[in-house]
A and B are shown apart, each in its own frame.
Chain A
């Protein structure tokens, strides 16, 4: 651990005081929050609601792991189990992962990082939060009223002729939340194009902004398709016209095409923002400019673009022609290239950097390792022949949890710990942060690595009972889940504590570079007193200077 950064940090932290006026005390009262147009307040609203949904999705995950503790079905009935994993999937995907980093941290940071007073359309931004809340409320009503048993993918005929559950209501919730996502993406695209401060050129933008730009393109181009798909599904259920149901003339594969045309790119909506966070963290705690800045920037766009033409790899066993499978398989391999560019460049950024291990950096390092495992196992699944064996097994479950939890949630936690001082103006206890990061890393691997093995051995997903041969792996997985839960609950406490008792952070507690660290913490309502002029390159860190400081304190390195 670098003593210099910590030393300078505590120096700034101890002298810093909370600013007299900032966005949170600019106005008081519930109305000033519910009718706010300030992107930072909307981000805080999102933070609260999204965290609540995360907790709820986590409870369902706990139910699933509890049931799978033993091979028999002795805790939940088959039906209740179907509803538990459907609720877990729907909540986590549509109401946690999709909005998490963009709607909270993107919302908070993008205007500040580009040097603007707000997002381009503040009212639309507020509207998007309300749409999210309405969507979430509808989904919750569906779950409370009796649940949904289709899985998060709503495949017909589960969702049409065989389903007696509240598919319509949940679908409507997802439909409405989709518009929230579209509006957020639209706001980001316009803000990044048109609201940059003088001097903030495209290639001086933080990679966080580039990643969100790519994310926004997917939100704009993908989400309307899933919206219309759900609408068609709803009409089929209500009027009994065969769109997807083969019994009445429909085409179930059409649903899968339309659904995955959005939902595969949606995976990149979840992971790209986390990749943006990763770039910020690695640069800040290795004290080096991100290696190959423009490659990392363009790899985000490449992932977004290629991500739109790989959806068929979810359908290798659902009746598309072998040739389509072949094409989708090859295209899927192509996504690995920009993803690997990123992973290698982050590693290269750390190489010979002046690394310090504060909490956000622990998350960043965790992200890198877990994302590589998740990405590489994705290639297993993208290979058409191998996928026949692995399709619908726990190998798939483990793979996407390595991307979604090991990637997106690690990125979310990293961002939370990195930007918390900016949002709240106060420092959380770093030791607790590090401990929870460590627990999460261990718990995560204990939960999901055994699932790779169980899946490879043939354990199918979405069953509430399993063969006793898989008991050992499931036991490990359930044990890991409880460790993971402890890791996730801890930050709730120390973050809440720091909100009131934490030391004032000052504008730049991490000595990081970027426009967002030049403003006070928390920022004022309009972020800057006057439009800033930006003359620096992105990540203008000086590793030699950091090294010299380090040597002064600890002697020569080599």
Chain B
């Protein structure tokens, strides 16, 4: 830590904090608290998913087939890479290597954009195949399951990945703004908590996808893998308990 400007007013310190240490700790705790609320936000959706997968396992199995697990897999890989570059960017900021941090942030944006582009094509194929829930043209015949119930799967698919994609868009904008600030030399080795906080957010959004991918894309794999049926039995008994 540099000691050149600890007196008077260090760069980035807001008036109502005593020092940068306090400010950084407050920012960190605030961000973690926010992420906890996010977990519960997605938790509500995942609860709905569990309930309906328990109610209509066959429908979910067949509906899940329409998702391309390869595209989802590529996106998983892309997001993991973006988290890595984000972590590097935070580390570079900590070491005061501004140029390096900047380019890592740009890379992160790039990966994030690739993810969103892939997502766009996935959504587009759903539109082409008339799989948009709530529209009159919705048709789903695979496996002979009830199309109305299949709508629930597709609704959950769009809700979960849609809210996630929205978080990605916000994330890309945030990282862009942070990259601009890094370029303008607004951060120091003592004060780079915005980079770190954006990193936390980015990793969180990444982790959400790690949960969404198997839930939505890999249903059949868990079934043929042998563990799926046991899991389903447990969900069923749980649902009996809660009505």
Contacts and interface: CB of A to CB of B under 8 A. Distances in A.
A121 B30 contact: yes
Interface in A249-294: 249-251, 253-254, 257-258
- Which DSSP category, helix, strand, loop or mixed, fits chain B's interface? helix
Interface string B32-66: 01101110111111011001100110000000000
Interface stretch (A44-52, A92-100, A185-193, A541-549): A185-193
Given A243-B152, A249-B152, A320 B51 contact: no
A254 B48 contact: yes
Nearest to B44: A228
Interface stretch (B21-29, B72-80, B121-129, B182-190): B21-29
Contacts of A240: 134
Contact of B151 (A120, A122, A241): A241
Given A243-B48, A243-B152, A324-B243, A220 B36 contact: yes
A320 B51 CA distance: 14
Mostly, the A contact residues are helix
A223 B51 CA distance: 21
A239 B26 contact: no
Interface in A295-323: 312, 315, 318-321, 323
Interface string A34-49: 0000000000000000
Interface in A188-230: 189-191, 193-195, 220-225, 227-229
A519 to B, nearest CB: 15
Q: Count chain B CB atoms within 10 A of each CB in A191, A249, A257, A526 and give the residue with the most.
A: A249
B149 A195 contact: no
B5 interface: no
Contact of A321 (B15, B151, B243): B243
> Size band of the B side of the interface?
35 or more
Contacts, number: 122
B18 A531 contact: yes
B70 interface: no
A425 B170 CA distance: 44
A533 to B, nearest CB: 12
Between B33, B34, B47, B148, the greatest number of chain A beta carbons within 10 A of the residue's beta carbon is seen for: B33
B51 A251 contact: yes
A116 interface: yes
Nearest to A187: B30
A228 B33 contact: no
B109 to A, nearest CB: 25
A220 B37 contact: yes
A320 B134 contact: no
A315 B242 CA distance: 10
A242 B152 contact: yes
A235 B162 CA distance: 13
A343 interface: no
6 contacts: A190-B26, A232-B45, A241-B155, A249-B146, A251-B51, A318-B243
Q: What 6 A-B pairs come out closest when comparing CB atoms?
A: A239-B134, A228-B44, A320-B243, A224-B41, A117-B16, A224-B40
